[in-house]
Structure 1
Amino acid sequence: MSRARVRVALSGTVTALLAVALAGCAGWGGTTAGSGGANSIDVLMVNNPQMIDLQRLTEENFTRQTGIAVNFTVLPENDVRDKISQEFSSQAGQYDVASLSNFEIPIYATSKWIAPLDGYVAADTVFDQADILPSMAKSLTADDGRLYGQPFYGESSFLMYRKDVLDAQGITMPAKPTWQQVADIAARVDGVQPGMAGICLRGQPGWGQIFAPLTTVVNTFGGTWFDADWNARVDAPEFRAATQFYVDLVRAHGETGAPQAGFTECLNNLIQGNVAMWYDATSAAGSLEAAGSPVKGKMGYVAAPVLKTASSGWLYAWAWSIQQASEKKDNAWKFISWASSRQYEELVGAELGWSRVPAGKRASTYANPDYLKEASAFAAPTEQAISSADPRNPGVQPRPAIGIQFVDIPEFTDLGTQVSQYVSSAIAGRMSVDEALERGQRLAEDVAERYRSREEG
């Protein structure tokens, strides 16, 4: 079955559904779009720290070099996703460039809201597309085979653990552990230090919270949200086995308050010595190894645990795309090619320090001695995790849509969030895993039926 058939007639529902977003960050103001002249562009972007660094460096570097003024509108994640969805679906052309993730870009490309970048890449002799990690480029490529985004920074997932705690128990962590090995180690180190649990796993509801790690577990256990023919598989044996394993592990050896624990809570638990291990985003390592971190130098990093697949790490990127309605596409590309360049990474390293480089997208980053000096503990495992991620083939069976920790359809934000509430309730002991997934199956069947109807129509 052609994957191009997946995204049919979506424009009527994309706008509303993409407004459902991940948990947001603290607010940040921005400039007003459309305030510049012909030699300016308007950029709408999320207020993550790496983006704020970019905003501060642009005028003295990019604008001074090119003469192109950049007007930024910078918003928290929830707000920026909503605003980008409204702006790009209307094709008003108020913004030329926006920060999009690899979740939105294939959907926006199918709806013809963003412009293909292949022509610009081919003509640009400096950007060096071959240096972009192939998994990142693949995740920003639509079903038509064209590239619609350039990554600003990216991440995968891996297992982080306290080397000193395992060493004291005579435990050697495998370089490529299985989930059963991880569960066994979690049991052995649980409580070996006062107040220390064996492992932290997200339990907080949200398609981008608990289901980011849990969907990778489902994949490697042989499960999937939907099969290639759009049959819902949420209550299938493999999905059930993965979810039961995850719930049992976090209930038996996981962190206190697991049903409310997301990325931030697990990060704090590991830094504060409340857990011995954590499976989550590779981007967390920078905080664990930062100056002043109590666990700096004590951490080990290995591949995401597996069962039936060779790898299981997820893939996520904040990337740049150009609005199709923009009348300043050439200048927009000049900004993107600078912001995602090797030269920009070197600028950040020199001006702000190598720990603040927006990494995870270029092979050259992981050969740079200055970066490796700062990130030696986790650079190689991070690169390996990103490089081994395959967003078009993350499990043991064909899928109807791209995605590792998500299904790249607009409906997944609502579906994943609703099902996550049931699974989080199972972690809290308020319902069984079977009941949670039976409810989830009914919701997934509704989504599947819509896609089967569109294909049949």
Structure 2
Amino acid sequence: MKTPRYALLLSGGLASFATMAWSETTLTIGTVNNSDMVVMQELSSGFEKANPDIKLKWVVMEENALRQALTTDISTNAGQYDIMTIGMFEAPIWGAKDWLVPFADVPAEYDLNDVFQSVRDGLSAKDQLFALPFYAESQLTFYRTDLVEAAGETMPEQPSWDDIERIASKIHKPDEGVYGICLRGKPGWGENMGQITPVANSYGARWFDMDWKPQFDQPQWKEALEKYVGLLRNYGPPGAAANGYNETLTLFANGQCGMWVDATVSAGFLTNPDQSTVFDKIGYALPPIGKFAKGNHYLWAWSLAIPKSSKNTEAAQKFIYWATSKDYIELVAEHSGWATVPPGTRQSTYDNPAYQEAAPFAKLTLETIQSADPTDATQEKVPYIGISFVGIPEFGAIGTTVGQEFAAVIAGDKSVDDALSAAQAATTKAMTEAGYIK
């Protein structure tokens, strides 16, 4: 009788890894409090049972806090973490600085070629891979099919931001506890700025010109920010300036948002009846465009990497191979269903008939991931790589500062013009001090 895949994983994982012997080791893992990472933490007991010499210590933080903690740790060589949850912003920058252990000899059974090339490219520098993706994502427009239909509207497969505004105005019923749209307002380069920047791209804006001069004084940024802020001020939930990814996910899952534009990875959570009250009322569309399709949706991968300061490199690699493997994906499928598996990383997932049947969002997710191009995301030329971020070390601080200005507009504490003026001044100062502007 064939041993079930689930049992194989719990009894030893990938065969070649199970034969390796380890002295007792504690791996400290810094990760984000997103739902897929919480599942990884729950299922990791199977890894510990199969590897009794390795103990896992989890340090789970919200997105902004995680980024600050990991950046501080790795830049000071503090060595607090053996495994870091990072993305396409950090991996190439930290890898180029020789702060990360490269994945140079990935075992054949891991099937690295199954991982999407664009995702591997985004986690690489100097022709070396510095992280392995736990899940990858782009963006989708999620909407309540019942509300849109009742309003006499039809969601286009490729909506514009004007379409989104029109529909939001018709389904916004705060007296009934339903808001027209939810979007991130919480300040942070990966929170509100990670969502606003693709909107800006789609209106023809860019962070910098070819001389690294900030562009917030240009009309494209004003048009984009006015659209984003106007949607939240007119049709969003109260306190939107404090809502990040987890907050907006919860609002939509609880039936309080008519629409939501955010990460594709959310789809698996939202279709789970144990976690979502609207699991059977969700429609999916492509991310909205302003005036242009280019750069209107990002590419991101929450990934696992090993800092050079770790003294447990081999044990850390063993865990990462397990957590990002095909077998782990099947483990999640057996645990909570195919729709909930970590998406966006492997071709084999999207070729799997069971996943195709369980995940009505799979086709659009794959389309957005494959069409996102970090090397060509703006109408005018730019000196940087990135769609939702600028791929330079200074961007973490700059993006968060700008995000604070924009959150103040969403909160009603500042005008669009004043926030853009402050963003222009602060970014110019930072780039001058960093030597980009002479």
TM-score, normalised by the number of residues in structure 1: 0.80
Aligned to 2:87: 101
Aligned to 1:333: 317
Counterpart among 415, 421, 430 of residue 398 in structure 2: 415
Matched, 1:320 2:320: no
Cα 1:294/1:247, change in 2 over 3 Å: same
Shift in Å, 1:61: 4.4
In structure 1, distance between residues paired with 2:309 and 2:180: 52
Gaps of 5+ in 2: 1-20
Shift in Å, 1:114: 0.7
Cα 1:85/1:200, change in 2 over 3 Å: closer
Matched, 1:174 2:160: no
Matched, 1:89 2:75: yes
The question of whether the paired residues in 1 share the 8 Å contact of 2:287 and 2:297 is answered with yes
Q: Deviations over 1:401-434 (max 9, x none)?
A: 3322222333333322222232223233333211
Alignment of 1:235-246 (within 5 A): 235-246=217-228
Matched, 1:380 2:366: no
Matched, 1:298 2:298: no
In structure 1, distance between residues paired with 2:86 and 2:382: 23
| Bigger Cα displacement from structure 2, 402-411 vs 41-50 | 41-50
Gaps of 5+ in 1: 1-35
Counterpart among 393, 403, 409 of residue 426 in structure 1: 409
In structure 2, distance between residues paired with 1:377 and 1:39: 44
Matched, 1:114 2:104: no
In structure 2, distance between residues paired with 1:83 and 1:268: 25
In structure 1, distance between residues paired with 2:251 and 2:336: 28
Q: Counterpart amino acid of 2:342?
A: P
Cα 1:141/1:397, change in 2 over 3 Å: farther
Shift in Å, 1:100: 1.9
Q: Counterpart amino acid of 1:72?
A: K
The question of whether the paired residues in 2 share the 8 Å contact of 1:93 and 1:326 is answered with yes
The question of whether the paired residues in 2 share the 8 Å contact of 1:99 and 1:321 is answered with yes
The question of whether the paired residues in 2 share the 8 Å contact of 1:210 and 1:420 is answered with yes
SS of structure 2 residue aligned to 1:297: coil
In structure 2, distance between residues paired with 1:238 and 1:276: 27
In structure 1, distance between residues paired with 2:321 and 2:396: 30
Cα 1:322/1:275, change in 2 over 3 Å: closer
In structure 2, distance between residues paired with 1:138 and 1:370: 28
TM-score, normalised by the number of residues in structure 2: 0.84
In structure 2, distance between residues paired with 1:274 and 1:371: 28
The question of whether the paired residues in 1 share the 8 Å contact of 2:195 and 2:262 is answered with yes
Q: What is the CA RMSD across the aligned residues, in angstroms?
A: 3.0
Shift in Å, 1:97: 3.2
In structure 2, distance between residues paired with 1:272 and 1:328: 42
Aligned to 1:204: 186
Cα 1:268/1:328, change in 2 over 3 Å: closer
In structure 2, distance between residues paired with 1:409 and 1:275: 35
In structure 2, distance between residues paired with 1:351 and 1:296: 18
Q: What is the count of residue pairs matched by the alignment?
A: 414
Matched, 1:446 2:432: no
In structure 2, distance between residues paired with 1:62 and 1:136: 28
Cα 1:96/1:382, change in 2 over 3 Å: same
Identity between Structure 1 and Structure 2 (%): 36
Shift in Å, 1:58: 4.3
Q: Displaced runs of 4+ in structure 1, greater than 6 A?
A: none
In structure 1, distance between residues paired with 2:250 and 2:309: 43
Matched, 1:367 2:351: yes
Q: Counterpart amino acid of 1:359?
A: P
